Structure 1
Amino acid sequence: MMKNGNLNHYKKLAYIVDYPRADFFNKVKEAEKSLTGYDTVTLSIFNEFSQFLNTTPLEKVEELYLRTFDIQAVTTLDIGYVLFGDDYKRGELLVNLSKEHKKVNNDCGNELSDYLPNLLKLLPKITDEEFRNELVEIIILPALAKIIKEFEVKSINMKNNVYKRKYKTLIEQPENYGRIFLKPLLIIQKVLEEDFNSSVLLEEHGDTSFTDSIITEIKID
C-alpha cells in the first residue's frame, strides 16, 4: 500500500539513472531537493553521489555510466531482462508496459518500455492505485534488488573475467568509482520502499542473474 500520495519526485528521480547529458548535474540537484523529509540514510547516500558529481567532469561520468550499464556492463536498467532474461515473459511484459505508457502519453524515447527511468516517470501518471502498487511491488522492486546485487565485488569480478576472455581486453573500471552508479539505485530503492511501505525477496523471480545471462550469451557466441 502506498504511503506517500505525491509521486512527482519520481519524474526527477528517473534522471539520476538515465544517461548523463549536459544538464545531468542540475537534474540530480533537483531530484535531491525533492526528497527533503526522507530518512537520513537515503539523504546521506544522495549527498555522496552529489559530491562525486561536483568533483568529476561530465565526460568521466559518461564513461562510468556506459561502463556500468552498456559496454562490458555491470548490469542493465531493462528490468524485464533482469527478471526474465530472454524468456517469453519479458516479451509479454514489454507489450503490456507499452500499452500503459501509451495510455498516459509517457514518452519512452529510444528506450524500451521496461527501461527503469521510463517506469519511474510512469508512476506519477498511473491513476489505478492497485496496478501502480503491483507494478512497484511485483516488477520494479524485485528487479532493483537483482540489479543492486550485481554490484557485489564478486559478481563484478566474475563478469570482468568473462568479458576479458571474450573481448581479449577490459575497459578500465576505476576501483574508487567503478560502483558509483550503485548509489542512485540504492536511493531509488529506499524511496520506493518508504513510499509503498514494501520490501522484496529476491527468490520471487528465481536465481538467474545478469551475470548468468552474460555468461550464457558469450558461450552461445
Structure 2
Amino acid sequence: MKNTIMFDGLASILAYPREDYKSRLTMCLEALRTSEFPDPERRQSAIEHLQQFSDAVIPLSVGELEELYTRTFDINPVSSLEVGWHLYGETYERGTFLVHMRDLLRRYAIEESSELPDHLTHALHALGRMDESEIREFVPARLVRALDKMLEGFAVNPNPYEHVLKSVRILACESVTSHGGE
C-alpha cells in the first residue's frame, strides 16, 4: 500500500491550522476513501475516526481551530506531536533519533517546517515514501509506540484530535500489514 497522498493529507491535518484547513481535511477524507487497503474493516474504522474529527471541527472558525490545536498539542506535553520526545524524553537517544529523522527528510526531499524533525507531520510525510523494509522497522518500533503514548494523553481529556491520531495509528499499522509485517 503506497499511500503518499493519504499520509501527506494526514500530516496536513496535524499541522497548525491555516485558512485552507477545512479543504485539506476534505481532501484527506477523500484520499482515505479511495486508498487501497487489504483490510476493509480497518479502512472503515480509520474513515469513521477521521469523519468524527471532521464533524467536530468543521463548524469551528479558523481562530477556534488554532486555539484547539494550541491547547491540544502545544500547551499539553503529554499529547505533543514530537515522536522522539515520547520515545526517549530529553535524552541523548532523542538527539540520535532527530538526526535519523533529518536524514529521512533529506533523503525523501521533504522540506522541514518550523517543527523539529521528529514532529509527527514529518514522520507521516516520510512514511508515505518509505520502502517496505523501512516501514516494517519504523512503524512498530517507533511510530506506533509514540502514537500510543500520545493517545494516553486523551484518556482523561477527550478531544477531537484523538480521532485523527487513532486514524493515523490504524493506517500506520495497515501499512505494515500490507507489506507483510505485523
Give distance in 1, aligned partners of 2:29 and 2:80: 23
Is 1:66 paired with 2:70? yes
TM-score (norm 1): 0.72
Residue 27 of structure 1, CA deviation:
0.6
Residue 151 in structure 1 maps to residue 154 in structure 2: yes
Of the three residues 48, 57, 61, the one matched with 2:61 is 57
- Deviation string for 1:169-197 (max 9, x for gaps)? xxxxxxxxx61111111111111122222
Cα distance per residue 1:83-124 (max 9 Å; x no partner)? 110111101111111112112211111111110011111123
- Aligned match of 1:77: 81
Percent sequence identity over aligned pairs: 27
Bigger shift: residues 66-75 or 55-64 = 66-75
* CA distance in 1 between partners of 2:45 and 2:108 (Å): 33
Match of 2:104 in 1: 100
Q: Which runs of 5+ in 1 are unaligned?
A: 157-177, 200-221
Amino acid corresponding to residue 135 of structure 2 in structure 1 = R
C-alpha distance in 1 between matches for 2:148 and 2:5: 23
What count of residue pairs does the alignment treat as equivalent?
172
CA 1:80 to 1:102, structure 2 compared with 1: closer, same or farther past 3 Å?
A: same
CA distance in 1, matches of 2:19, 2:3: 28
* Paired residue secondary structure (2:128): helix
Q: Which has the higher helix share?
A: 2
In 2, are the aligned partners of 1:68 and 1:74 still within 8 Å (CA)? no
After superposition, residues 53-202 of structure 1 pair within 5 angstroms as 53-126=57-130, 128-153=131-156, 179-197=159-177
- Amino acid across the alignment from 1:147: M
**What letter matches 1:115 in structure 2?**
H
Compared CA separation, residues 125 and 57, structure 1 to 2 (3 A): same
Structure 2 residue ranges without an equivalent (≥5)? 35-39
1:6-41: CA deviation from partner (whole Å, max 9, x where unpaired)? 443111111111111111111111110011165332
Greater C-alpha Rg: 1
CA root-mean-square deviation: 1.8
Q: Which residue of 1 aligns with 2:22?
A: 25
Deviates further, 106-115 or 6-15 = 6-15
For 1:80 and 1:64, the matched residues in 2 are separated by 23
TM-score (norm. length: structure 2): 0.86
Q: Tell me what 1:16 maps to.
A: 13
Per-residue CA deviations over 1:129-183 (Å, capped at 9, x if unaligned) read: 2123211121111110111011111xx5xxxxxxxxxxxxxxxxxxxxx611111
Equivalent-residue separation in structure 2 for 1:135 and 1:116 (angstroms): 13
